[in-house]
Every structure is written in structure tokens, then in C-alpha cells.
A = this chain, B = another copy of it.
Amino acid sequence: MAKDRSGNIGEAPIGVFDSGLGGLTVVRRLAAVMPGETIVYLGDTARVPYGIRSLATVRQYALEDAAFLMRFFPKLIVVACNTASAAAVEAIESFCPVEVVDVIRPSAAYALTRTDGAIGVIATEATVASGAYERAIHAIDPRREVISKACPLLVPIVEEGREQDDPIVLYVLGDYLRELQRRRPAVLILGCTHYPLLAGAIGKLMGPQVQLVESGESVAMEVQRRLRAAGLKNRRAEGGSLRCFTTDNVERFARLSERFGGRKVDNVELVGTDELRCEVAKPDRPGLGASTVESGGR
């Protein structure tokens, strides 16, 4: 188990990474549930989006991101990116000697506790194509029906800054959700960290009898459970902090941070992807070289 430099494990930070800014919706939930924790966030904006890369490339990037976070001696790492969770969580678990929480399994497990019927999932094209939510749900209940729908335009719509009552948002959502509206599953997983910003409109279209599950919410609960079980919770009840790194365009990160994380992050720090590569190439980190990443492109 990781200890911070003073040897006090509970005060070590939680490391969170995502391909971009979407993971800040997870950070927001973590900070709400555990306001005393220190969080270090890495948004790999120089290489976003991960969803259109090959599986081998996503795995390599995700390992580099996790290796960077390991510099801060975290007690737990959150993979706050659906594509990276689908492609690389096992690789990260075998590399990192700390707890690892992804965004897929906690949402799947939580959704199963909320209904005996079919579970809906909306996500990016890459996440739906990976079948990761089906696998996570079927690992617990092999016969559960899953209704998945890829919604490729929702991330760019959120990044464009459109409001939830914008006619285009409602029109596009209406198109994507048609089948799900007809089937009306009791639970709909928002399988992308951008989608909580559209939760109001999605909820309106699906109706009050459909419960929306945000990754951030179930991840925060899972992180709290794991830290408690391992005796790793910070003793502080509040006064936590957030340190943000990005691999490109610090100004854009700072500008968009409020929209995703609920508060503006001013002191965003830049870390080059070259530096991330060096981190992984270090000879004293066996198992992190390029050979670890199997060539698994679909």
C-alpha cells in the first residue's frame, strides 16, 4: 500500500486521470462525498479523444497517465475515462501497487442494485463498441438485459457549451433516446463523464420513472468504500484540495474547468506528453515498458 512521504497513508492524495476534462465531473462528486481528501488530477488534453484511438494506443496512454500520478504517492487511482477503463484497467491494476477504481464497474454494480429489469446505457461510440458495460453487468448477473446506445454528438455538444434547453440539444437527444424512451428501462447509466452536464435534459426526455446513474456518483461511493475498508480515509472532514495537470493548452483547461468541475481551477500545471513517455520508459519500473502493452487493436 502506498504511503505519502511522511508515512501517513490517509493523507496521501487520490489520483484521478481522464483523457480530457470530463473526469472533473467525477472529481466534483469525490470532493462532495469526501471533502477532506487531496486530489491530483491529470487531463491528457494533448491526446484527447481516446475513443478514436486503437486499443493498444489507449492502453499505452492510460499506463503513462497512471505512471505520472504514481509520482504523487497516491493511496488510490481513479480511471475517470470510460475508454481507458474499458481498455486498460487490468493493465493499470497490475502495474500500480495501489487501489484502482474505474468508472464502469461501480456504475454497473450500482445499476444492478436499483432494478431487476433491463438496464439502459448511453455512451460514446468507442465505449459501446467495447461492450465494457455489458461485460461488467454480466459479470454480476449474466442474464440481465442491457440496452446500449452510442451517442457520438453529445461530447461535442457539451464541449460547444450549449445549454440543456437548447433546441438542438433536445432534438439530438430525442433522436438518440427514441428506442430507450420506448423501452423505458428503470435505470439508465450515463456512460460518459461528459453526460452529467446534460442530465437535466436526459431526465426530462426519459421521464421521472427512469433513474439516471452518473459515473461520478457511483465512483465516489466505491472510492469511499475502498478507503474505509483499507483504513485509508483522510482524518480531515474538510479542507481538501485539488491540483490539476494537463498535457496541453492550460488556458483552455482553466476556462472549461468550471463547467465540468463546478468551480474554476486557476493554477493548472502543464506536463508534456514527452515527460509522460519518459515516466513509462524508466528502467526502474519493470512491467511498464512498451512490451507490457499487448497489440490488441480491434
Contact = CB atoms under 8 A, between A and B. Distances in A.
Interface in A155-190: 155-157, 159-160, 167-168, 171-172, 175
A230 interface: no
A139 interface: no
Contacts of A153: 153, 156-157, 160, 168
B53 A297 contact: no
A125 B171 CA distance: 22
A interface, how many residues as a size bin? 20 to 34
A152 interface: yes
Interface in A216-243: none
A298 interface: yes
A52 interface: yes
A168 B159 contact: no
Interface stretch (A41-49, A104-112, A130-138, A198-206): A41-49
Given A48-B52, A52-B45, A297 B249 contact: yes
Interface string A8-48: 00000000000000000000000000000000000001111
Contacts of A53: 46, 248-249
**What is the total number of copies of this protein in its complex?**
2
Nearest to A125: B160
A164 to B, nearest CB: 16
B160 A298 contact: no
A264 interface: no
A163 to B, nearest CB: 13
Contacts of A250: 297
Nearest to A274: B277
21 contacts: A45-B52, A46-B53, A46-B57, A47-B47, A48-B52, A53-B249, A54-B249, A54-B251, A54-B252, A57-B249, A125-B160, A152-B159, A153-B156, A153-B168, A155-B156, A167-B175, A171-B171, A172-B172, A250-B297, A251-B297, A251-B298
